[in-house]
Amino acid sequence: MRFDGNLNVDLNEITMNLVPYPKLHFLASSISPLVMPKDVHLPPRRFDQMFTDAFSKDCQLMKCDPKHNKYLACGLMVRGNAQISDINRNISRLKGELDMIYWNQEGFKVGLCNVPAVNQPYSLLCLANTCCMIDTFEDMRQRFEKLYFKKLYTHHFLQYMESSVFEESMNSMNEIIDEYKELQIAKASKNVPRFIPKY
């Protein structure tokens, strides 16, 4: 977003295009190539391989494996001297490999910045709204319950808020997990409209 590009997108556009439901606004991010500062002189990845890597669990910036979960929408931000035709070719290939939700089969948002990353001809940032967030939130809930039911550290928070806030937060977390689970198993039906936002 710092540099000019042919298809630049701002944060408002990303949110608008990747969040079909207001509560489900959590994006999993990945970067390809994912390099450490000491690795900046590694040979660059092939362009097509870069797109494949962005959807592998090794390039995710959180502990998750999105390839085995349903995608609601996906943003692909390419940096460097890339051609739109090459990006579209890779998106067409990914459509056959990814499990996109039935009402958003064309749910790819593309951004293109002309300035490449340091010592790389091109790089890719992937922002995905995916049901792999279920595992992350369930793990978070489990760790919270261990502490909360033993009342560990709660006295620090109770100086500034009511104890009911803990329960409300837990209920909100459960609702988000349930919504993601419903979407994970969602299938197209002839009697159901293609997209019903929950506002």
Q: What are phi and psi of 91, to 5 degrees?
A: -65, -40
How many whole angstroms separate alpha carbon 70 and alpha carbon 188? 13
pLDDT tens digits along 11-36: 677 778 899 888 999 999 999 887 75
Cβ atoms within 10 A of the Cβ of 106, count?
8
Q: What is the largest CA-CA distance in the chain?
A: 58
Please report the pLDDT score of residue 138 as a whole number. 95
Helices (H) and strands (E) in the chain, counts: 6, 4
How many whole angstroms separate alpha carbon 106 and alpha carbon 64? 23
- Residue reference for tokens 């999993």: 28
Q: Are 98 and 54 in contact (CB under 8 A)?
A: no
Domain 11-132 has CATH 3.40.1390.20: no
Please report the pLDDT score of residue 68 as a whole number. 85
**Average pLDDT per block of 10 residues along the chain, 199 residues long:** 70 82 91 68 71 90 87 92 90 92 91 84 91 93 91 88 91 95 82 48
Note the pTM of the prediction, 2 decimals. 0.81
Please report the pLDDT score of residue 91 as a whole number. 94
Please report the pLDDT score of residue 47 as a whole number. 87
Please report the pLDDT score of residue 199 as a whole number. 42
DSSP 149: T
